Structure 1
Amino acid sequence: MRNALLLFLGILNLLVLGAQEMPLEYRFGEKYNDRYRYSNLLTFAETHSGDKLLVRAYYQGLILRPKGYLIERYSPELELLDEFNYKLKGKDFVDGFVANGQIYLLFLSYDPEKFQYDYTIHQSPVGNYNFREKTLLSIPSDYVESPLDKNYYNRKFRSGFSTTVHFNKSRTAFAISLHHKKGKDNMHRILVYNNNLDKLFDIDFSAEVEEKNYAFEEMETSPDLSRVYLMGKAYFKKRRFKADERKFQYELLALSAGGTQTQTFDQPGKFSEALKPLWHKNKLICVGFYADRKDNRYNGLEYFELDPGSLNIEKSTFNPFTEQFMFDKFGKSDDKVIKNLVFKDVRFTDTGDLLFNAEEYFVTESMQTNASGGRVKIERFHHNDIVSVKLNSQGRLEWARNINKTEVTQGDGAYASYSAYTKNGHTYFFICTAAENPQLLNKERLIFKQGLSRNRNVFAIELDPQGKMSYEKIIDQQEARLPLMVSKPLVDTAEETLYFYAKRGSKKQLVAVAVK
């Protein structure tokens, strides 16, 4: 009997160990009541004391309209410390950040009396909310629809005013790009601020837009903020194109006390796609994808090392996707193409290897009939496959893996998509899905088929340093009764913990997942 009991305990122990292979621990905060059923998570940040601060825009009325912003502060133990209802209407929220014990909310609004757009900062001490408003800059312009609107893949530069804002990864600086076109006047201005709201650069970029329109997508800075790098698409204007030519090219713009510099990356038969600038150990690295033709399909990965001062390309490497990767992604189908990849997370290992992942993202539109018989345009946001890649310190491809998934949403995308965290060469992906049993094929291909349940399981997917894949359901939908906003976590690298906001209807809570 004793031997049988020991055997049973041994088998049970093996089963438990097998079910807890990943070094992940999670904990739930208390569920709290919430009076705002309809809201969107806008900003999730950490204060200098370790408190977790988030900002939500909430909507009320028979026809839902934005009414204000709810600011919530949680302790490191996931306890709700305080809430503040900032009642503010008529402004477009751009972004928010926490620095110097203050919370900063950046807005764009139109003043019809002065015929101008205003960028304003609303600033308050954290925990002692008393907001004051400061105007950063004003831009004379007629009113236009959606001045902050942008489309990664089909940017349209119409007459009027358009603008974008980009932060560096550490959120110590942000750049505002302003483009105003009216008649023969064509103004492009770029301003950069640090998180104290000091103006670092104010560049007149108008001469360059005589030939090309610029749509910036990524921002990077040197640690001392003396150099700012903006990566984007430059669309040619006054030029005839051959059948095999593109109408745009990726360009890197560098801002410094010495002025501006630009660098291009296209080579014969290789067109850059989704390039991202990275600062690593006093090196400027640009990594992304490339196509061998003009139709936006991706054929492989590219890697550049640049001199941070001159922008001269010192090394370039091109890695075509392998046949095995294409088979893992599409199976035996020959007519599938890879495109519309958007970076989600990029990390360097201690040995200088580069781990990054991207997601297939695109937007579709359709017309539907509403309750009154009118026709309305519906936008659907698609978050599909995850592509994860490892490049060695020389930019050579070690492996590329694909996680098959299909997600589509019409509204808040915070519950869709995924988040990722890298530690010791291992990358962990977190997704929230109704799927129960994903398929793992040869430890190199994982397929999630969406289930029908309203609740959501939380899965962790691990890629080890050799690219071998495993997965684990870390939180069951019966345990996590509220779905997690997996695509908008607060990542605490010091604690190696991801904090997720969970909400449904009138209930909310925080969930912490630690990587051990």
Structure 2
Amino acid sequence: MKKIIICLAFSMLTWHSFAQDIPVKITKSELFKDEYKNSNIVLVEDDGSGGVVIVRSYAGGIFSSGYGYYFEHYDSNLKLLKEYEYQSKVKKEDKKIYRSILGVIMNGKEINMIEYIYDKKLQSVTFNALTSNINDFDFTSKELFNMNSKDAESGNSGKDRDAGAQMIINEDKTAFAITVDIKDKNSETHKIYLFDKALNQKIDHTFKRDIKDRKFIYENIDVSKDGNTLYLLGKVKTDEAKKKKDGGRYQYELTRITSTDEKTQVFDTDEHYAASLKTIIFQDRLTCIGFYSDRNDSRFKGISYFELDPNSLAIKKSKFNPFTEQFMIDKYGKDKDKELKNLRFKQLIITPQNEIILNAEEYYEVYTHVMTQNGGGYDRWTYHYDDIVSAKINSDGAIVWARNINKRQDTSVYGNPFFSYTSTAKGADAYFFINTGEKVRKIRKDRIEFKEASPKRSNLTVIRINENGDFDYREVLDDEENEVPFMVAYGELTGDSVFFLGQKGKKKQLLKLTL
């Protein structure tokens, strides 16, 4: 299954120090080759003995069908201890059966894959847990629940972005929810189940909002830290909100769901526009955070913050923080009354002090129709991954610091895994891992800009923003030191470490960076 093509009898366990004092411990696996060219890390979990279990997903290409997972157990030096391939191929007699894996969660030494099965012949949708111990990888199946397929909205319907089924795991990885969009022309309806990591069902709930599906924009569902409560956030376009003179023509609704009841809190962004919000759950408070504008839904002037009581949902605080002067200087070279556009959320991180580090990226797509010499033409899309936006929000909802890190990356490949970045935090500091070119470009007003690198040749760089909002950076790995470039867009975090998969042609390698 996996063929070792080059053996590297080392693990780079030394601390590197450059001009910038950002200590990073580097560990690499041996180079290897898979049967399937493309795969992604979907889970990294400590094994309790210093090692890790890594799960990678893959899908068959033009000449092969089905999908599957590689399960790999490594020691602390990324030496492979055990491996297993779970493969699902479509059999001839099963042409009317569609299978997929919604997600993976671990319970001690056990791995649970949550499987979705659509049977066209039986007109049923079934959700199973495929469970195995990491020592033998002998999977057994257990049905969690099922429903009539006529009730479930297909994920390929194209009607709204919450169609289909989704699995949500809480931050502490102790519980997960499965939500299924239910067909209903007149109401936004979801069937939601909550399980703990041992597969015990905690909640079976039907969420229903008496408004047409297209007028309810599903934002996110979150599971509480204790694994007993669900929070569903929606952006709702009501007739009352449409009559507003200023601000967005919508309202936000946060619903708290337990095994015994459901309650909803409505809140508005007043005269501001807030394109989207994210829910963050603490032990004693509940927050919704996002970007806002004073003009429209695509340009942003600052960060909005709402704090609610996690039980009653009473609104305790509501703030709209303009971006700081330092942030505007980072972005434009001087303090200008401008607004950002095309921001999308990346990681939201909670510090040990219960502060929020909000990270985003300036992402947009450009369409061009290219004419050829023979009078024909073709369409071309370019995907831009530009500036990194990061801000720390304290427990009172105020901005501690906000920084814009200038970055320019564009590609013709949608979802290019070598572009963008992965972020994390240690203590009060924020860290960003990106691929860069050979030189950092100086731009006006004593600023710098990280330029794009070729996906096949790039240097892996770490950027740090400290507790005061000052940032520095250093090169972690030079292109000449690497057999493969690493997919910085899809890093997986565990403890103080971030894991990346590298790939060049058929060669692959795992990288562990520990702060």
TM-score bracket for the superposition, by shorter chain length: 0.7 to 0.9
Question: Which residue is 2:256 aligned to?
Answer: 254
1:410-456 Cα deviation digits (max 9, x unpaired): 355443321122223221111123x1112366999542221347222
What is the aligned partner in structure 1 of residue 168 from structure 2? 166
Match of 1:68 in 2: 68
- Per mean C-alpha deviation after superposition, the further-off stretch among 140-149 and 173-182 is 140-149
Matching of residues 201-220 of structure 1 within 5 Å: 201-209=203-211, 214-220=216-222
1:501 Cα deviation after fit: 2.2
Q: Cα distance, 1:146 vs. partner?
A: 6.0
Contact 1:230 1:253 in 2 (8 A): yes
| Structure 2 match to 1:462 | 464
Contact 2:153 2:181 in 1 (8 A): no
Structure 2 vs 1, CA of residues 237 and 317 (structure 1 numbering), >3 Å: closer, same or farther? closer
1:436 aligns with 2:444: no
Measure, in 1, the Cα distance between the counterparts of 2:380 and 2:57: 21
- Residue 121 of structure 2 aligns with which residue? 113
Match of 1:396 among 388, 395, 398: 398
Taking the aligned partners of 2:380 and 2:444, their CA distance within structure 1 comes to 39
- In the TM superposition, what are the counterparts of 1:109-258 in structure 2 within 5 Å? 109-142=117-150, 147=155, 156-157=159-160, 162-182=164-184, 187-209=189-211, 214-236=216-238, 246-258=248-260
Report the CA distance between 1:387 and its aligned residue. 0.6
Following superposition, the deviation at residue 35 of structure 1 comes to 3.0
Q: Is 1:479 aligned with 2:481?
A: yes
Q: In the alignment, is residue 320 of structure 1 matched against residue 322 of structure 2?
A: yes
> Cα 1:34–1:48, aligned 2, differ >3 Å: closer, same or farther?
same
Question: Does structure 2 retain, via aligned residues, the 8 Å contact 1:443–1:470?
Answer: no
Q: CA separation in 2, counterparts of 1:315 and 1:414? A: 38
Task: Tell me which residue corresponds to 1:423.
Answer: 426
The answer to whether the 8 Å contact 2:18/2:474 transfers is no
Aligned-residue offset at 1:104? 1.4
Residues of 2 paired with 1:364 and 1:175: CA distance?
A: 36
**1:236/1:96 CA distance change after superposition, 3 Å:** farther
What is the DSSP-based 3-state SS (H/G/I as helix, E as strand, rest coil) of the residue aligned with 1:309?
coil
Cα deviation, 1:234-277, whole Å, max 9, x if unaligned, reads 34489866685645433222112441122233232123343222
Q: Which amino acid aligns with 1:345?
A: L
Displacement after TM superposition at 1:182 (Å): 5.0
What SS is found at the alignment partner of 2:300?
coil
With normalisation by structure 1, the TM-score equals 0.82
Residue number in structure 2 paired with 1:31:
31
Distance 1:233 1:60 in 2: 37
What TM-score do the two structures reach when normalised by structure 2? 0.82
Matching residue of 2:45:
45
**Kept in 2: contact 1:286–1:304 (CA 8 A):** yes
Contact persistence 2:160–2:214 (CA under 8 A): no
Deviations 1:89-109 (A, max 9, x none): 342232112223111112323
Deviation at 1:381, TM superposition (A): 5.5
Q: State the distance in 1 between where 2:190 and 2:392 align.
A: 37
> Aligned residue for 1:104?
112
What's the counterpart of residue 93 of structure 2?
none
Higher mean C-alpha displacement, 75-84 vs 282-291: 282-291
Counting matched residue pairs gives: 486
Answer yes or no: is the 8 Å Cα contact 2:124–2:146 preserved in 1: yes
8 Å contact 1:402–1:444 — kept in the other structure?
Answer: no
What is the deviation of 1:79?
Answer: 0.6
- Aligned residue identity for 1:71: F
Q: 1:431, 1:243 → 2: CA distance?
A: 43
Report the equivalent of 2:413.
410
Moved more, 437-446 or 482-491: 437-446
**Post-superposition offset of 1:61:** 5.4
Instruction: Tell me the amino acid that sits aligned with residue 84 of structure 2.
Output: F
Residue identity in the other structure for 2:457: N
Query: Which shows bigger deviation, 389-398 or 57-66?
Result: 57-66
Contact 2:170 2:225 (8 Å CA) reproduced: no
Question: After superposition, what is the alpha-carbon deviation per residue over 1:14-55, rounded to whole angstroms, capped at 9, x for unaligned?
Answer: xx9653511222122222233322333333333333432233
Compute the displacement of 1:379 (Å): 7.5
The letter for the 2-side match of 1:83 is E
Q: Is there any run of 5+ residues in structure 2 with no aligned partner, and where?
A: 1-15, 90-97, 372-376
Q: CA deviation at 1:67?
A: 4.1
Alignment of 1:3-18 (within 5 A): 18=18
Q: Kindly tell me: are residues 201 and 313 of structure 1, through their superposed partners in 2, closer, same or farther at Cα, counting changes over 3 Å?
A: same
**Unpaired runs of 5+ in structure 1?**
1-15, 151-155, 370-374
CA separation of 1:261 and 1:77: change in aligned 2, threshold 3 A: same
Match for residue 9 of structure 1?
none
